[in-house]
Amino acid sequence: MRIYKNFINNDWVGAISGKTFPVDNPATEEVFAEVSRSGTRDIDAAVVAAGSAFNGWRLTDPGSRREILKEIAKKTVEHGDEVAKLITQECGKPFVEAQDEIDVIASNFEYYAELGRDQIGRIVAPTSSRSMSLVKYEPYGVVGCIIPWNFPMALMAWKVAPALAAGNTVVLKPSEVTPVSILKWAEMTCDSLPSGVLNIVNGYGKEAGSPLVEHPDVPVVAFTGSIATGTIISQLAAKNLKKVSLELGGKDPVIICADCDIEVAAKGAAWGGFMNAGQVCTSVERVYVFDEVADSFTEALVEEAKKVNIGDPMDANTDMGPMASSVQYEKAHEKVGLAVEQGARLLTGGGRPEVFDKGYFYAPTVFDNMTAEMELMNEEAFSPVVPIQKVKSLEEAIEFSNATKYGLGCSIYTKDIELAMTAADDIKAGSFWINNPLSENNAAPFGGMKMSGQGRELGIEGLDEFREPKHILIDYRQEKKDWWFPYGSDGE
């Protein structure tokens, strides 16, 4: 069994304590790797390395940084299958979905390689003649990135690529559930980076994550995860007035209008709700369906749920693998049990399929007879569970969609552009999808409103999260100005 170490200053080093922690395969429940269990001293070493590398990296010309990032993208594709297999092995998602993460890494590094070279500043209109005002974008310094387990590689790239493209150095802490794929990726693709530019330190949140957030030499922290952890990070970061970028939880609704193609809407809702076993921040977490089509849509969605092929995530025919951990499996089961207690009707799923005697497999689950006050319509499930509630109108669907603390994404199925755009205008969410849920675009920003987060990833907005503007005024002429002292009329 391999022991994976920290990556600090382009060297592979074990935790100073000598401790490790296990990583298991959620499909088999078997431990397949050990990883260094780091603490404050390991974080300190990584931050020192990143800090020492910062000046050299920020002064590297953008064209050279571009070539290095594009080389990382190229090597990511070359070694993609090997890394994708580790993603599947440690988090349970089907191999085809793991391969999608490889594509995300490559496309993000390529995109920000070009954007970071091109977007370095601007000229604004001067306030006086013979002068010029420049706005220059500068990196902050050492950026701390804390990565979740559900998309360990894709969400790493969303943060690391723009941070590096902007001229920052990085200390990265993967999730303790899924550290192996990130470490293997760095081993195979990041040798072109100068020493200390990217550092990876493994460990648990309180032991490694908190010291990274609190470190006085880390001015920016980027995090994806739960609202609860995001709140703690905000509080810790506030002590040193750090900038934080937070992509937190979601409770994304999909609105099914009476005029939609029921078959298409059911297939889209099933994919949106059950992809990666529902462990997606923008999963379809609740359905609001117009009364007129509620029965036909519900029947169609149940049939789609029953068609989902659950099994070995390395099998090309598998649609859905296990949940990522026993903790996630138990949370899902608790939420399903509570929904039943509160009066929801379980239509399909609700537990481990009988064909599996091990692994954290959970059947695609659909509820109806939901009401607005039930917990499953208000709190993030993060599991393959889709609840359905009937609505009488678009106005009622909009009201319910806005009724939670979340504001990450929302989808609608309709052929009526007025209905679609009215909902897009009135629903408080960072992303709004019309007839095509859960789709991202590298050039468009992604992030949440309300308690779903602050800041944005992707697009030029994602680059701006890791750089700060500086105004430089140039006066062509060195001369006394009329507005200087003395103010009196007798002054010369």
DSSP string covering 394-424, please?
A: HHHHHHHHTTSS--SEEEEE-S-HHHHHHHH
Q: Could you report the per-residue pLDDT of 440-461, keeping only the tens digit for each?
A: 999 999 999 999 999 999 999 9
Q: How far apart are CA 302 and CA 305, in angstroms?
A: 5
Q: What is the CA radius of gyration of the chain?
A: 25
- Name the CA dihedral angle for 25, 27, 29, 33, rounded to a multiple of 10 degrees: -10
The pair of three-digit structure tokens given for residue 153, joined into one six-digit string: 């590689």
Q: Does residue 443 fall inside a structural domain?
A: no
Tell me, yes or no, whether 155 and 278 share the same domain. no
| 324 belongs to a structural domain | yes
391 part of a folded domain = yes
Question: What percentage of the chain has pLDDT greater than the value 70?
Answer: 99
Kindly report the number of other CB atoms within 10 A of residue 275's CB atom: 23
Report how far apart, in Å, the C-alpha atoms of 491 and of each of 41, 128, 477, 485, 488 are: 62, 22, 21, 8, 6
Q: Which amino acid, one-letter code, is at 182?
A: I
Residue 479 falls inside a structural domain: no
The pLDDT value given to residue 4: 98
d(CA 254, CA 397) in angstroms, rounded, equals: 9
Residues 371 and 416 in one domain: yes
Count of domains forming the chain? 2
**Are both 334 and 429 inside the same structural domain?**
yes
Helix spans in 175-293 (H): 180-189, 210-214, 227-238, 262-274
pLDDT score, position 1: 85
Same domain, 66 and 148: yes
Give the C-alpha distances (Å, rounded to integers) separating 402 from 159, 252, 335, 406: 28, 10, 22, 8
Q: Tell me: do 197 and 308 sit in the same domain.
A: no
Beta bridge partners of 17: none
Residues 6+ apart with CB under 8 A from 59: none
pLDDT value for 22 = 98
pLDDT at 492 over 80: no
Residues 366 and 417 in one domain: yes
Q: Could you give phi then psi for residue 459, rounded to 5 degrees?
A: 65, -175
Is 191 in the same domain as 294?
no
Confidence of residue 361 (pLDDT cuts 50, 70, 90): very high
Domain identity same for 224 and 300: no
Listing from the earlier edge strand, what are the strands of the sheet with 131-139? 121-124, 131-139, 467-475
| Nearest residue to 243 (alpha-carbon basis) of 253, 234, 256 | 234
pLDDT of residue 490: 61
Smallest CA-to-CA distance from 445 within 115, 51, 193, 70 is with 115
Catalytic residues, by residue number, are 247, 281
The model's pLDDT over 195-242, given as tens digits with 9 standing for 90+, comes to: 999 999 999 999 999 999 999 999 999 999 999 999 999 999 999 999
Q: What is the pLDDT of residue 316?
A: 97
In a domain? residue 492: no
- The mean of the pLDDT values for the chain is 97
If asked whether residues 199 and 287 sit together in one domain, one would say: no
Q: From edge to edge, which strands make up the β-sheet containing 220-224?
A: 11-13, 6-8, 198-200, 169-173, 142-146, 220-224, 243-247, 453-454
The answer as to whether 487 is a domain residue is no
Residue 491 pLDDT > 70, yes or no? no
**CATH number of residue 79's parent domain:** 3.40.605.10
Task: Tell me: do 269 and 367 sit in the same domain.
Answer: yes
Q: Say if 135 falls within a structural domain.
A: yes
Q: Residue 488: its pLDDT value, please?
A: 87
Coil, helix or strand at residue 301: helix
- The arithmetic mean of pLDDT across residues 363-373, rounded, is 98
Give me the half-sphere count of Cα atoms (radius 13 Å) on the Cβ side of residue 390. Answer: 12
CATH of the domain at 418: 3.40.309.10
pLDDT band at 289 (very low <50, low <70, confident <90, very high): very high
Which domain covers residue 368, as residue numbers?
253-434
Using CA atoms, how far residue 355 sits from 68, 91, 310, in Å, is: 48, 20, 10
Are residues 23 and 163 both part of a single domain?
yes
Q: Is residue 281 part of a domain?
A: yes
- Two tokens at 368? 């109806």
**Span 70-92, pLDDT tens digits:** 999 999 999 999 999 999 999 99
Q: What pLDDT is stored for residue 186 in this prediction?
A: 98
Confirm if 430 and 447 have CB atoms less than 8 A apart: yes
Contact of 388 with 298, CB cutoff 8 Å? yes
Based on the domain organization, do 282 and 385 belong to the same domain?
Answer: yes
Instruction: Choose the final residue of a domain: 381, 412, 434.
Output: 434
Q: How high is the pLDDT of residue 284?
A: 98
Structure-token pair, residue 172 = 């990265």
